[in-house]
Structure 1
């Protein structure tokens, strides 16, 4: 039971046709304007956020590359110095194991004339860097705190052992708080003469990467085994690089995003170049840090958008209230006129379609009121009683058709205002109705041309097409030679109206209406054909019988308009002319009007404008 009620409530919520005009236009504003703007704003803010992250990442990349270049420049100084000593021919000559320094004087002279001068030119600050040269010559004495003979202890030193194992390659490493670089000293034949070692404190590297706060950006220098050599976060030194960044060493500048709860971007830049260590400078930036500016832009954008949409919606509802109040007022006045109270709708000094419709409606009401008064007051003063009766009957029948057509058309417009998704269609319907009312008010007398009557039919069909969309199609076949022929006013439009209302509207699917006018001898045949639901035999017989009834006004249903048209044709042209009807259930209906072919043609004078 509860689920059934929920379904009924949802169904009533989405039953768009049941909403009034104000609710429909508000929903139209929400779905056609506000919702697309929100979606567009969301997309733009997302694109902006991604762009800010991308730009910030690029800046971080560039900063990482610059830090890597600074580290590389520092390491290159030591690598070049080690290489310089390694290839120094005189140093190789003095350290040659074959040299005999059995006499201490020879060792002193070696230090005096070369070994001391060469180390004297050591350009790095002794307080931050240390030079050591290990030699294999058994006769040379150690000295200067730099030269040391290779013994069992030296052979266990990592810088010495790794340099010997590496051949002629430069070896890098870290011991305690110092960074070392070592390289063997060999002759051209590859014979080992010794090893040169340079050490400098890790603080030299730290000085190049400590400018960033570790909470905002963590920078770490890791060796080939993933051990952190130096970092602006001092607690990371000696630890391993996290597993999710283990592959960062080969990704030159490529960011790697972690999937852990504290998401971050990581940029790894390798230290490359000749004689450089296979180390990697890793920069880790929290995503929240990158999003700070993006979130600020997003929040400001949402506040501006929300304020703009709120002001826009308030203005829209204010203007909408003024428009719909005028429509409701006009519909209320129409209902009173329909009940027989000939009152005018309040007019406003505006040029929109509602004002035009109001003015046309008031003119129509005034015309109806004046015509009724003129008919009875003037008709009673006529001396010819028979002529008075004939004119009164003719006017009564015609005045019955005019309000009947008007109210049906206004009802169509009202339904369109309720059901339409596009208010412009309702505007076009109002414009067509204005044309019909203008034509009705400007026509003088009861006779018009076929062309004028067809123009009225076209306006009416356009209104009904807007109402039923693709349900109705039409075909108007009127020879040009009959276009200026005179006919009684409003004898075709009521037939077309009946065909739509009783034939096409009740049919499932689409339907068509055809209007054909032909001259057959001394008669003109006007046929209105529809492929609607048709009329059953019993009802058709009742309608045919009603055409000859005296009290036509009290006839109910479809036959009212048919009877009025038939009676007017008979009064105008005699009993030899009039209306006939043929119909079959589910096949359609054909209504034929016959009038004399030699009827007086319309004057063709230009209609006055209102």
Structure 2
């Protein structure tokens, strides 16, 4: 008897071989390649984005540092000039006439300011503005007149009320006074020496915007940079530059998110510095969207090509391998089908040296031997098997015939004794139960019956015993629903119950209790019959066990020995039969059978049983 496979295993076994190979290829090869490549692509996309983020941050920081160095260089020059005592003295002197000024200019002022420009090449020009009208304006020295006071840079400095500031503004061009040009200047009040305060003095250092733009343009491969002042005005940008000449009525444009490319990953922003004179100044970078897109496209093309190459190579390899397997297995299957029709043809192909080749060679050997022995050994074996089955059937019938008269005899004797002793006239119920028992014994044609049907028989028997023993006897049946439909040899439980009543509780004092359990545990059907009777000594128990297992033994243990023998004939050594007993504590007899060896009653058969 074998366990029939159901569910997923049956579904897999029913799939044709070609479809199985196709599913192996899809699930085992193609799908993992696609998933791995998708995961790899997703991971690489993340790495590319992380790398681009790092490059963008490095680019932004590099540009910020260079611009900050340019401005700090201008501030350093401004501080150096602001602490030049001789310069203060020359600017605070009142000159008699222009000749007097030119003499002092040649002696002290000519190269005093311009000497800083070659060393600090980011400085476009340096201008000193003073209210000393005795100075002749020109070169680096200027008079603070009404025109200067009305200029943008001067108003910005007055409004800021800071000693040092960085200002972005527009001033009139020398070549065309109607147009303005952008400037970025460091403006500082010259008030370092209090005793040279006769005239107000201002220092203005103009930063070369072309140098700053070179820094911004240098990073165009990574970012579109925007230099923004404290008022959120764009001083210059990678695309807009700084050389746009406009009328004085126009100002710098405001920075908005739309100023960048809508395809970008979002702006990056960093402060130019922490000093007060650059407070609010920022460098904003908008990433070049096409750079990241190109990197992602290159990565996808590479991964796609790699996946296609791997898929092609593995597909060809698997096709070659599986074709060899599939062809030989199909040939083997066709010839095995012929064997079922008693056609023992040999498989004449190149078998190969693998397992399938060995299987084909063994099949050829097997078919050759079967073909030669079919008329001799096989027919003789069939005859032997038939004789053996007849012998087993005869032995089972003999064992059954031993038990039925024995049970009937005891039952009739019990009724006779009770009726004689108590002078009963109405024994309708007990006679009905006995009638049902006899009818069931006569109609039982099957060797195997469900546990449910066996338990109905036991309950009828126990009712008779209850009638016999009256208040001295009780019984309990604990049967799991799962165990009811499994089939066991008929009359496998009743002799054990009868033995418990006769030898267990009949001679015991007090209330006798017989308990019957049937349940499924650990893949086995377990039947337990126990009583609380007189039990038996260890020596008597050992003799009983030996007697049960001895085929030629006789005596009072015939009922237990018959049950054990029938179970052994049906299930060989797979059945477990056990007897346990202690004096004055009762006896327990149990057996269990693997479920895989048992038949299961279907619903239709159960209906037939219920109708009996």
TM-score range, shorter chain: 0.5 to 0.7
Show CA shifts across 1:458-493 (max 9, x none).
xxxxxxxxxxxxxxxxxxxxxxxxxxxxxxxxxxxx
2:581 corresponding residue in structure 1 = none
Q: Is residue 181 from structure 1 mapped to residue 208 from structure 2 by the alignment?
A: no
1:22/1:321 contact within 8 Å kept = no
1:206 corresponding residue in structure 2 = 213
Output the CA distance in 1 between the equivalents of 2:277 and 2:216.
Answer: 18
Show CA shifts across 1:63-110 (max 9, x none).
3322333323322332222222222223334444xx655677765665
Q: Is residue 37 from structure 1 mapped to residue 33 from structure 2 by the alignment?
A: yes
Assess, with a 3 A threshold, how the Cα gap between structure 1 residues 320 and 204 changes in structure 2: closer, same or farther: closer
1:163/1:171 contact within 8 Å kept = no
Q: Is residue 197 from structure 1 mapped to residue 204 from structure 2 by the alignment?
A: yes
2:168/2:182 contact within 8 Å kept = no
Q: SS of the counterpart of 2:169?
A: strand
2:162 corresponding residue in structure 1 = 167
Output the CA distance in 2 between the equivalents of 1:230 and 1:221.
Answer: 5
2:239 corresponding residue in structure 1 = 233
1:24 corresponding residue in structure 2 = 20
Residue 20 of structure 1, CA deviation: 0.3
Output the CA distance in 1 between the equivalents of 2:309 and 2:105.
Answer: 85
1:131/1:196 contact within 8 Å kept = yes
2:264/2:286 contact within 8 Å kept = no
1:243 corresponding residue in structure 2 = 257
Output the CA distance in 2 between the equivalents of 1:533 and 1:509.
Answer: 17
1:63 corresponding residue in structure 2 = 59
Residue 183 of structure 1, CA deviation: 0.6
Output the CA distance in 2 between the equivalents of 1:510 and 1:321.
Answer: 44
Q: How does 1:533-572 map to 2 (within 5 A)?
A: 533-534=599-600
Output the CA distance in 2 between the equivalents of 1:534 and 1:15.
Answer: 22
Q: Pairwise CA RMSD of aligned residues?
A: 4.4
Show CA shifts across 1:401-454 (max 9, x none).
9xxxxxxxxxxxxxxxxxxxxxxxxxxxxxxxxxxxxxxxxxxxxxxxxxxxxx
Query: Which residue, 123, 127, 141 being the options, matches 1:132?
Result: 127
Query: Which residue, 297, 302, 308 being the options, matches 2:304?
Result: 302
Output the CA distance in 2 between the equivalents of 1:131 and 1:230.
Answer: 22
Residue 25 of structure 1, CA deviation: 2.6
1:396 corresponding residue in structure 2 = 383
Q: How does 1:26-425 map to 2 (within 5 A)?
A: 26-96=22-92, 101=95, 107=101, 110-116=104-110, 118-119=112-113, 121-124=115-118, 129-137=124-132, 140-164=134-158, 165-175=160-170, 176-187=181-192, 193-211=200-218, 217-234=223-240, 238-243=252-257, 262-272=263-273, 274=275, 277-278=278-279, 279-346=281-348, 348-374=350-376, 395-398=382-385
2:469 corresponding residue in structure 1 = none
Show CA shifts across 1:262-289 (max 9, x none).
2345433432265763433333332321
Output the CA distance in 1 between the equivalents of 2:266 and 2:337.
Answer: 71
Assess, with a 3 A threshold, how the Cα gap between structure 1 residues 315 and 512 changes in structure 2: closer, same or farther: farther
Output the CA distance in 2 between the equivalents of 1:211 and 1:134.
Answer: 35
Output the CA distance in 2 between the equivalents of 1:114 and 1:183.
Answer: 21
TM-score in terms of structure 1 length: 0.54
Output the CA distance in 1 between the equivalents of 2:324 and 2:292.
Answer: 50
1:133/1:146 contact within 8 Å kept = yes
Assess, with a 3 A threshold, how the Cα gap between structure 1 residues 126 and 47 changes in structure 2: closer, same or farther: closer
Assess, with a 3 A threshold, how the Cα gap between structure 1 residues 118 and 368 changes in structure 2: closer, same or farther: closer
TM-score in terms of structure 2 length: 0.54
Output the CA distance in 1 between the equivalents of 2:605 and 2:217.
Answer: 100
Larger radius of gyration: 2
Assess, with a 3 A threshold, how the Cα gap between structure 1 residues 335 and 187 changes in structure 2: closer, same or farther: closer
Output the CA distance in 1 between the equivalents of 2:387 and 2:317.
Answer: 44
Q: Is residue 520 from structure 1 mapped to residue 550 from structure 2 by the alignment?
A: yes
Output the CA distance in 2 between the equivalents of 1:400 and 1:338.
Answer: 25
2:213/2:241 contact within 8 Å kept = no
Show CA shifts across 1:29-81 (max 9, x none).
31133212211111112222332332233233323322333323322332222
2:189/2:202 contact within 8 Å kept = yes
Output the CA distance in 1 between the equivalents of 2:321 and 2:97.
Answer: 114
Q: SS of the counterpart of 1:131?
A: strand
Equivalenced residues, count: 392
1:132/1:147 contact within 8 Å kept = yes
Residue 126 of structure 1, CA deviation: 11
- Structure 2: give runs of 5+ residues left out of the alignment: 1-9, 171-180, 245-251, 389-485, 489-519, 527-545, 554-563, 572-592
- Structure 1: give runs of 5+ residues left out of the alignment: 1-13, 246-257, 377-391, 402-501, 541-583, 587-610
Assess, with a 3 A threshold, how the Cα gap between structure 1 residues 110 and 398 changes in structure 2: closer, same or farther: same
Relative to structure 2, which stretch is displaced further, 292-301 or 235-244?
235-244
Assess, with a 3 A threshold, how the Cα gap between structure 1 residues 131 and 235 changes in structure 2: closer, same or farther: closer
Assess, with a 3 A threshold, how the Cα gap between structure 1 residues 123 and 68 changes in structure 2: closer, same or farther: same
Residue 372 of structure 1, CA deviation: 3.4
Output the CA distance in 1 between the equivalents of 2:364 and 2:16.
Answer: 25
Q: SS of the counterpart of 1:337?
A: helix
